[in-house]
């Protein structure tokens, strides 16, 4: 078994066609076919069912694809890291989720640049989940995100917890209530915008499907009442998880692609949402932002980096962040990557 055979198998498995795989890999169809045959002969296993169009993987082929794909991704990451170790980049490439841009990110970057004038900084707007791949491929050196990642390649520092505020349309009956309870919000349509599911929890597709308006309407012909969530651990959508932790399931939800769209819908009177406090400057003509009475309804901010490759400027970046926290009287616990 060799790398060429494995790469040929991955291309065929992903594209389900010898001709498409030949185009993408630049290897001729007969050569691809020969590489796959050699691999199958070496292993004494049929990986691809050639009689179907498009081609299909056998059960053994599906298992093998899963494992080998992960292995080749890891091999790519090791290659990139080794190259970077031999020639580290002078600049600092920083990934960030959009929500931190409305908070302290601009100030953090300005302070870091003042203190490290010789370092070129490149910023990249990238989701929490994609940051992990971007760190491994070397596209970014560090990432600011809102989720902890359980990945053997990644380490993270929890910078702080930011409180969630409820965003309500100005015309909402609760718009002027100063200290809100999650239970009182459960009858309003909750607009969900996270693209990431909480790590390490069970998939919730069944619960999400169960929460579609039509399914819910069938069961609640009279005045609907918020339900008590039975299995908190089965909820992986971050806002639903916060509600579930308080034993509440919102009656109606809508899912949108990002935070900006969610706030646009709130402004249009389509529902409510929860956002980190730094977002309270957005669309203030149409949206009322109110605090929640629950202290633990917060959104964490993490700084991620690779375990085996810490950019020499990362600890200077942390120094700039902590300096700003000190100036603003923000509670934090000082940490360093080692
Ligand atoms: C913060 O809001 O605490 C923060 C945002 C971006 C980078 C670092 C810190």
The Cα angle at residue 197 between residues 60 and 193, in degrees rounded to 5: 135
Q: Residue 234 — pLDDT band, cuts 50, 70, 90?
A: low
pLDDT at 51 over 70: yes
The ligand 1 site (C-beta within 6 Å) comprises: 100, 103-105, 108, 144, 159-160, 301, 321
Nearest residue (CA) to ligand 1, atom 4: 104
Atom of ligand 1 nearest to the CA of 330: 3
Q: Which of 136-140, 248-252, 329-333 has the lowest mean pLDDT?
A: 136-140
If phi > 0 it is left, if psi is from -120 to 50 it is alpha, else beta; for residue 102 that is alpha
Atom of ligand 1 nearest to the CA of 159: 3
Q: Residue 325 — pLDDT band, cuts 50, 70, 90?
A: very high
pLDDT tens, residue by residue, 164-223:
999 999 999 999 999 999 999 999 999 999 877 666 543 333 333 333 333 333 333 333
Q: Is 262 exposed, middle or buried (0-12, 13-18, 19+ CB in 10 A)?
A: buried
CA 73–ligand 1 middle distance (angstroms): 30
Nearest residue (CA) to ligand 1, atom 1: 104
pLDDT tens, residue by residue, 264-323:
999 999 999 999 999 999 999 999 999 999 988 999 999 999 988 888 899 999 999 999
Reference 227, options 208, 250, 193; nearest CA is 250
Nearest residue (CA) to ligand 1, atom 6: 105
What mean pLDDT do residues 224-252 have?
76
Per-residue burial over 146-174, b if 16 or more Cβ lie within 10 Å, else e, is bbbbebebbbbbebbbbbbbbbbbeebeb
Nearest residue (CA) to ligand 1, atom 2: 104
Q: Are the CB atoms for 290 and 181 separated by under 8 Å?
A: no
CA 13–ligand 1 middle distance (angstroms): 42
Tokens 């908190």 correspond to 232
pLDDT at residue number 216:
34
The pTM is what?
A: 0.74
What are the residues facing 93 on neighbouring strands? 122
Atom of ligand 1 nearest to the CA of 103: 2
């Amino acid at each position: 078994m060799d790398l060429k055979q494995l790469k040929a198998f991955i291309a065929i498995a992903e594209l389900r066609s010898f001709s498409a795989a030949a185009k993408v890999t630049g290897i001729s169809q007969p050569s691809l076919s020969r590489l796959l045959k050699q691999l199958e002969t070496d292993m004494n296993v049929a990986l691809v069912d050639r009689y179907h169009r498009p081609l299909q993987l056998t059960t053994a082929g599906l298992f093998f694809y899963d494992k080998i794909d992960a292995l080749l991704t890891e091999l790519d990451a090791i290659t990139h890291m080794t190259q970077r170790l031999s020639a580290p980049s002078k600049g600092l490439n920083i990934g960030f989720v959009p929500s931190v841009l409305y908070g302290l990110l601009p100030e953090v970057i300005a302070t870091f640049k003042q203190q490290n004038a010789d370092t070129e900084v490149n910023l990249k707007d990238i989701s929490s989940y994609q940051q992990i791949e971007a760190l491994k491929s070397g596209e970014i050196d560090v990432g600011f995100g809102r989720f902890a990642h359980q990945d053997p390649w990644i380490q993270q520092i929890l910078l702080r917890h930011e409180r969630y505020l409820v965003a309500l349309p100005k015309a909402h009956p609760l718009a002027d209530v100063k200290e809100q309870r999650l239970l009182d919000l459960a009858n309003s349509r909750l607009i969900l915008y996270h693209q990431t599911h909480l790590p390490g929890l069970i998939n919730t597709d069944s619960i999400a499907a169960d929460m579609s308006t039509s399914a819910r309407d069938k069961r609640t012909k009279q005045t609907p009442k918020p339900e008590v969530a039975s299995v908190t651990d089965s909820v992986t959508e971050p806002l639903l998880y916060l509600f579930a932790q308080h034993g509440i399931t919102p009656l109606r939800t809508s899912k949108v692609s990002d935070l900006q769209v969610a706030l646009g819908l709130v402004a249009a009177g389509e529902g409510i949402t929860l956002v980190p406090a730094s977002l309270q400057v957005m669309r203030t003509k149409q949206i009322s932002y109110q605090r929640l009475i629950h202290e633990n309804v917060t959104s964490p901010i993490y700084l991620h980096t690779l375990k085996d490759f810490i950019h020499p400027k990362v600890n200077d970046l942390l120094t700039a962040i902590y300096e700003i926290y000190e100036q603003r009287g923000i509670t934090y616990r000082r940490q360093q990557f080692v």
